[in-house]
Amino acid sequence: MSRFDHKESPPLTCVHVVKCAEIECTAICRIIAALAKHAGSFGYEISVLFLGGGPLLEMMRSAGVQASIVPWTGERGDFAGAWRVWSRLRQRRVQIVHFHSGGLLARVISRLAGASAVVSHVHHLPPHEEKMGATSSSLRFRGADAVIACSQAVADRLYHCRAEVIYAGIECVPEPVPLRLSPGPFNLGVLSRLEPRKNIGAVIEATARLAQSGIDIQTEIAGDGDVEDVVSLRELVARLGMNDRVRFLGWQTDVRGLLVTWDLLAIPSMEEGLPISALEAMASARPVVASRVGGLCELIVDGVTGCLLPPGDTEALFRCIAKLTGDRQRLAQMGIAAWHRAQNEFSAQVMAQRTAALYDRLLGRKAARGPAEPAG
């Protein structure tokens, strides 16, 4: 694969716009950080513009990504915020603005600031569209030169819009950390925002049934959410008498370090675009048991790198985990297979190459490199 020659011309500026630096945008920021690490090889300099504050600002900076906060509500009446965003983009002499949030007004401001190309990135469908089965109109993306969908499942729902699928990429550990084959507590993990559509209660209920069946299980739930949702989950744990079996860890920064302490990651969501937590687990050689929804079906090979179950079926979740706890050799094989799949088909390098190829097309720019191999 040929690389961009920095001696020929300076890198082009691409600003990624994220609605805020709060932890709800952690997955998006991980994707951007992985992209930024490799984008220089393809002639692009990646930076981030947050439209609201939060702890992710320092996370991005510590990852070596230039990041700043320019407060803007995104509403038409917030003229001061709109001017601040326009001014910052103008100052950066940006060639591409890559939106992970923001509507038509934000895209117009990018044009006025001198951007040559505008990209909209769809990580999931709005809740009302997901639940009601409504279609997305092309009007939603007016002013965008290209639309990226996080998965084919999401792209298929964007009717009247030619979305290009670019999967999130992940950095794999150089060598997979094998699962424990010796007897001991089975460590089940959840890595997710704690909200109703994630269906975390199903994991808690399955944990209770597994414990009642005599299985030595410990479940850790990493993530945060609205106070009401977190309190509701804690009350469920107490009601089922699982306080000694289920731990709430809150928001975690060392995701990789946490994953290698688990035997299995559970994602019982009712709706998903393409959860980065599944890729993080695969890259850490950990299998995933998940609902058969959205992009999860594109990541997980059922029975090979993990298990796919009917959404909302707590009984199936219980039976699947119970079976895997009794066959740790198979679980370890799944983990290694997941690691190979993440490394070969969902790497950060492939994501960066595909994204750069899209940028090149939008700018009419030629780069000496071959096409990326399609993800499986």
- In the chain the first and final C-alpha atoms are separated, in Å, by 20
| 323 domain residue, yes or no | yes
Give backbone dihedrals phi and psi of 233, rounded to 5 degrees, phi first: -70, -40
Give the side-chain half-sphere CA count within 13 A for 202. Answer: 26
CB 305 within 8 A of CB 337: yes
Residues 140 and 235 in one domain: no
Residues 192 and 164 in one domain: no
The DSSP string of 117-133 is EEEEEESS--HHHHHHT
Residues 17 and 40 in one domain: yes
Label residues 130-167 b or e (16+ Cβ within 10 Å = b).
Answer: beeeeebeeebbebbbbbbbbbbbbbebbeebebebbb
| 256 domain residue, yes or no | yes
| 174 domain residue, yes or no | no
Q: What is the pLDDT of residue 172?
A: 80
Q: What is the pLDDT of residue 8?
A: 63
Residues 241 and 317 in one domain: yes
CATH code at position 336: 3.40.50.2000
- Find the DSSP H helices in the chain: 26-39, 56-62, 79-92, 104-112, 127-132, 152-157, 200-212, 227-239, 255-259, 276-283, 296-299, 314-325, 328-345, 348-363
Q: What is the pLDDT of residue 139?
A: 65
Residues 356 and 273 in one domain: no
Total domains in the fold of the chain: 2
Expressed as residue numbers, the domain containing 18 is 12-169+347-363
Q: What is the pLDDT of residue 130?
A: 46
Residues 242 and 160 in one domain: no
| 371 domain residue, yes or no | no
Any residues with CB less than 8 A from the CB of 68 and at least 6 apart, and which? 47, 48, 49, 50, 57, 88
Residues 341 and 194 in one domain: yes
Residues 159 and 214 in one domain: no
Q: How far apart are CA 308 and CA 291, in angstroms?
A: 5
| 306 domain residue, yes or no | yes
| 368 domain residue, yes or no | no
Rg of the chain over all Cα atoms, to the nearest angstrom: 21
CB 51 within 8 A of CB 25: no
Residues 46 and 155 in one domain: yes
**pLDDT by residue, tens only, the chain of 376 residues:** 344 454 467 899 999 999 999 999 999 999 999 999 999 999 999 999 999 999 999 999 999 999 999 999 877 778 999 999 999 999 989 999 999 988 889 999 999 999 999 999 999 865 544 444 444 556 688 889 999 999 999 999 887 788 999 999 998 878 887 777 767 899 999 999 999 999 999 999 999 999 999 999 999 999 999 999 999 999 999 999 999 999 999 999 899 899 999 999 999 999 999 999 999 999 999 999 999 999 999 999 999 999 999 999 999 999 999 999 999 999 999 999 999 999 999 999 999 999 999 999 999 986 544 444 444 4
What pTM did the predictor assign? 0.88
* Bridge partners, 146 (sequence order): 119
| 272 domain residue, yes or no | yes
Q: What is the pLDDT of residue 126?
A: 52
Residues 336 and 203 in one domain: yes
Q: How far apart are CA 75 and CA 45, in angstroms?
A: 29
Residues 161 and 239 in one domain: no
Greatest Cα-to-Cα distance within the chain, rounded to the nearest angstrom? 66
Residues 29 and 120 in one domain: yes
Any idea what DSSP says for residue 170? B
| 107 domain residue, yes or no | yes
Among residues 300, 327, 340, 331, the alpha carbon closest in space to that of 176 is found at 340
For the record, the structure tokens of 17 come out as 């716009």
